């Protein structure tokens, strides 16, 4: 028997392989050559393709899915958060303080302690921790604890490092989204709470990470992502240092999550950087991208409005009990369509953060105008969060194939804060996935990690259950099927970034990205779906992660 030049390098047999191809086939076996899938079919047929050097692996009946893709995931920040104090599951202020005190005991005094994930709507006290409480937990360390989104609380050492005192003037109220910091009403002393862009007053005092630390953060995130089956993300919001970190890790052969990089731009970067954004983006566009199947620059990220939970998303009607508050624009709504057109004409795709109905309308109209005036098949503008589409927005999104990148796990973890902000009726209709699909709007699942859990099975659970952490059901009619939830983290996520020809399903010719799981996500209960365990993860024909023990 001679060696066949076309024989597979590896064959997986005796599996329950969900291909997520157009026929939604289930097959037993897959053959892989190099980084590509060569063939799929019955075990006997695929075995017959083996040459003398082919490795044959018996899956023992295990489930196999395409590698999972998150269409909006801040991988670099998540890698940094993995090294910080996580507070997402805290339900009281003493729990938060315990975790800060634990960290303080393990690092030398003066070192910054950064934490993330508190949400006052889930805390027994119903409020944020204060500067003085954090002082008691860690008197000798500067402490900054990010809320799940858009606010932070700092202790006295952090305020001192940032030079913030009761004499510090309030941020200029005539500047868009300049934010504020809270003061004790009787003394004028800052309480430690900062919101919107006023957070930068504190964040600018934290020592910037070194290039090596950034590379280490990307590497840590890759390992954590592979362990939950993630093999691809779109990374919305990098600067030159972030891009360099991804490229370094790729050169080291350690980048195991395919990454589409978006340039952090209007609304997303500190206000003082906005004046130079056009020249920076044009400059990046003019340089060779060094793109391959692992890494490429895909587009530009805008943040057009704020969030629902903290009542800054731009709505059409006021927030509950705040008749004068319809939310905020983070980017000038007059200027935004011109910026969209400018980026579109450069040939970059756009991901715009839109949480409020008015923001989503504006983004969809701006995209539609650009796509009508200058059609470009390779560009895929998309709206992120996409909570509250108007009927017009849905029609335009369907007509121009503008994907809704829904942040599914927010329904679980932030759903209660939505109810508090916009009332239970409206909150229940957030992210109307079934309506999007019925109208023909492309849909993709995202976590927006580190805002929510990056585990895609948590996102699939959110899409099929639509149930908050306290068990409240949000518009059951907007639940989607198991198969569609799986598509939204595989083939539809690939399609949202024009990558469906090479990724997102197990089909001959596509990249060999797949995962072995411990259950069938189509038939288990909702909760079991959420708890699905990944056993092995393959990227480009190479096993990059395996569960041990």
Indicate the residue among 310 and 448 with the shorter CB distance to Zn ion: 448
Indicate the residue among 448 and 484 with the shorter CB distance to Zn ion: 448
Indicate the residue among 19 and 383 with the shorter CB distance to Zn ion: 383
Query: How much of the chain is helix, strand and coil, in % rounded to 5?
Result: 35, 20, 45
Q: Which residues of 456-491 are buried (b: 16+ CB within 10 A; e: fewer)?
A: bbbbbbbbbbbbbbeeeebbeebbbebebbbbbbbb
Helix (H) or strand (E) holding 147: strand 143-147
Indicate the residue among 142 and 415 with the shorter CB distance to Zn ion: 415
Q: What's the sign of the alpha-carbon dihedral 396, 399, 402, 406?
A: positive
Indicate the residue among 181 and 367 with the shorter CB distance to Zn ion: 367
Q: Which stretch binds Zn ion (CB under 5 A): 60-68, 268-276, 443-451, 486-494?
A: 443-451
Give the shortest CB-365-to-Zn ion separation in angstroms. Answer: 21
- Scan for tokens 């800054």, then name that residue: 312
Per-residue mark of binding to Zn ion, 494-533 (x: CB under 5 A): ----------------------------------------
Indicate the residue among 12 and 303 with the shorter CB distance to Zn ion: 303
Indicate the residue among 120 and 448 with the shorter CB distance to Zn ion: 448
Site for Zn ion in 9-38 (CB under 5 A): none
How far apart CA 393 and CA 413 sit, in angstroms, is 26
Give the shortest CB-161-to-Zn ion separation in angstroms. Answer: 27
Indicate the residue among 416 and 448 with the shorter CB distance to Zn ion: 448
Give the shortest CB-74-to-Zn ion separation in angstroms. Answer: 6
Indicate the residue among 9 and 448 with the shorter CB distance to Zn ion: 448
Q: Which stretch binds Zn ion (CB under 5 A): 258-266, 359-367, 446-454, 501-509?
A: 446-454
Q: Give the residues across from 445 on adjacent strands.
A: 406
# of chain residues touching Zn ion (CB under 5 A) = 1
Tokens in use for 539? 């990227």
Strands 180-183, 190-195: pairing kind: antiparallel
Q: Is 448 in the site for Zn ion (CB under 5 A)?
A: yes
Indicate the residue among 269 and 506 with the shorter CB distance to Zn ion: 269
How far apart CA 325 and CA 310 sit, in angstroms, is 11
Per-residue mark of binding to Zn ion, 391-430 (x: CB under 5 A): ----------------------------------------
Q: Which stretch binds Zn ion (CB under 5 A): 140-148, 164-172, 444-452, 496-504?
A: 444-452
Residue 233: closest CA among 480, 448, 36: 448
Q: Which residues, other chains included, contact 136 with Cβ-Cβ below 8 Å and sequence gap of 6+? A: 97
Is 221 in contact with 82 (CB distance < 8 Å)?
yes
Tokens in use for 389? 């589409």
Indicate the residue among 448 and 478 with the shorter CB distance to Zn ion: 448
Helix (H) or strand (E) holding 443: strand 443-445
Terminal-residue alpha carbon distance, the chain: 39
Residue 524: closest CA among 455, 461, 473: 461
Tokens in use for 458? 């948590």
Q: Which stretch binds Zn ion (CB under 5 A): 218-226, 287-295, 442-450, 533-541?
A: 442-450
Q: Which residues, other chains included, contact 482 with Cβ-Cβ below 8 Å and sequence gap of 6+? A: 460, 464, 521, 522, 523, 529
Q: Which stretch binds Zn ion (CB under 5 A): 47-55, 290-298, 364-372, 441-449?
A: 441-449
Indicate the residue among 70 and 507 with the shorter CB distance to Zn ion: 70
How far apart CA 499 and CA 542 sit, in angstroms, is 20
Collapsing DSSP states into helix, strand and coil, what is residue 102?
helix
Give the shortest CB-151-to-Zn ion separation in angstroms. Answer: 16
Give the shortest CB-81-to-Zn ion separation in angstroms. Answer: 13
Residue number of the CB closest to Zn ion reads: 448
Q: Which stretch binds Zn ion (CB under 5 A): 363-371, 387-395, 445-453, 536-544?
A: 445-453
Q: List strands edge to edge, sheet with 55-58.
A: 36-41, 29-33, 10-13, 55-58
Q: Which stretch binds Zn ion (CB under 5 A): 179-187, 305-313, 391-399, 440-448?
A: 440-448
Give the shortest CB-245-to-Zn ion separation in angstroms. Answer: 18
Q: What's the sign of the alpha-carbon dihedral 352, 510, 33, 534?
A: positive
Give the shortest CB-116-to-Zn ion separation in angstroms. Answer: 14
Per-residue mark of binding to Zn ion, 158-197 (x: CB under 5 A): ----------------------------------------
Q: Which stretch binds Zn ion (CB under 5 A): 2-10, 261-269, 337-345, 447-455?
A: 447-455
Q: List strands edge to edge, sheet with 151-154.
A: 85-86, 113-118, 143-147, 151-154, 190-195, 180-183
Give the shortest CB-75-to-Zn ion separation in angstroms. Answer: 11
Give the shortest CB-466-to-Zn ion separation in angstroms. Answer: 21
Helix (H) or strand (E) holding 299: strand 295-303
Give the shortest CB-215-to-Zn ion separation in angstroms. Answer: 22
Binding site for Zn ion (CB under 5 A): 448
């Amino acid at each position: 028997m001679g060696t066949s030049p076309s024989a597979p390098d590896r064959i997986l047999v005796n599996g329950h392989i969900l291909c997520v191809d157009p026929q939604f086939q289930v097959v037993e076996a897959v053959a892989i050559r190099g980084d590509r899938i060569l063939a799929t079919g019955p075990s006997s047929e695929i075995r017959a393709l083996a040459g003398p050097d082919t490795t044959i692996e018996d899956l023992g009946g295990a489930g196999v899915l395409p590698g999972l893709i998150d269409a909006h995931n801040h991988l670099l920040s998540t890698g940094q958060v993995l090294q910080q104090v996580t507070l997402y599951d805290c339900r009281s202020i003493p729990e938060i303080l315990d975790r800060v005190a634990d960290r303080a005991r393990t690092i030398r005094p003066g070192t910054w302690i950064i934490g993330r994930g508190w949400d006052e709507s889930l805390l027994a006290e119903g409020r944020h921790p204060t500067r003085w409480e954090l002082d008691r937990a860690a008197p000798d360390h500067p402490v900054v604890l990010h809320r799940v989104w858009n606010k932070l609380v700092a202790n006295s050492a952090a305020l001192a490092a940032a030079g913030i005192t009761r004499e510090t003037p309030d941020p200029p109220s005539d500047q868009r989204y300049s934010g504020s910091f809270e003061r004790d009403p009787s003394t004028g002393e800052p309480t430690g709470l900062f919101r919107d862009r006023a957070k930068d007053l504190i964040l600018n005092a934290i020592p910037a990470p070194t290039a090596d630390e950034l590379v280490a953060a990307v590497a840590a995130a890759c390992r954590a992502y592979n362990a939950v089956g993630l093999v691809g993300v779109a990374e919305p919001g990098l600067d030159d240092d972030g891009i360099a970190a991804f490229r370094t890790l790729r050169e080291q052969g350690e980048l195991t999550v395919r990454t589409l990089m978006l340039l952090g731009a209007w609304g997303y970067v500190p206000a003082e950087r906005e004046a130079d954004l056009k020249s920076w983006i044009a400059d990046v566009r003019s340089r060779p991208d060094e793109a391959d199947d692992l890494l490429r620059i895909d587009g530009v990220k805008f943040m057009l409005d704020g969030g629902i939970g903290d009542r800054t998303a731009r709505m059409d009607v006021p927030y509950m009990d705040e008749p004068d508050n319809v939310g905020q624009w983070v980017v000038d709504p007059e200027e935004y369509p011109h910026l969209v057109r400018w980026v579109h004409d450069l040939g970059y795709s756009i991901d715009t953060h839109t949480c409020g109905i008015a923001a989503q309308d504006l983004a969809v109209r701006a995209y539609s105008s650009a796509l009508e005036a200058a059609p470009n098949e390779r560009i895929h503008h998309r709206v992120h969060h996409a909570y509250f589409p108007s009927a017009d927005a849905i029609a335009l999104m369907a007509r121009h194939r503008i994907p809704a990148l829904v942040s599914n796990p927010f329904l679980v973890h932030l759903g209660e804060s939505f109810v508090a902000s916009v009332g239970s009726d409206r909150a229940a209709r957030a992210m109307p996935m079934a309506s999007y699909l019925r109208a023909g709007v492309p849909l993709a699942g995202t976590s927006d990690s580190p805002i929510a859990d990056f585990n895609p099975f948590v996102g699939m659970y959110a899409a099929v259950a639509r149930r908050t952490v306290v068990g409240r059901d949000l518009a059951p009619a907007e639940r989607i099927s198991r198969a569609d939830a799986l598509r939204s983290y595989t083939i539809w996520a690939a399609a949202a970034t024009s990558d469906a020809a090479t990724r997102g399903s197990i089909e001959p010719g596509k990249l060999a990205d797949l995962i072995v799981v411990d259950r069938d996500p189509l038939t288990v209960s909702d909760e079991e779906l959420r708890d699905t365990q990944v056993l092995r993860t393959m990227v480009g024909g190479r096993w990059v992660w395996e569960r041990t023990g």
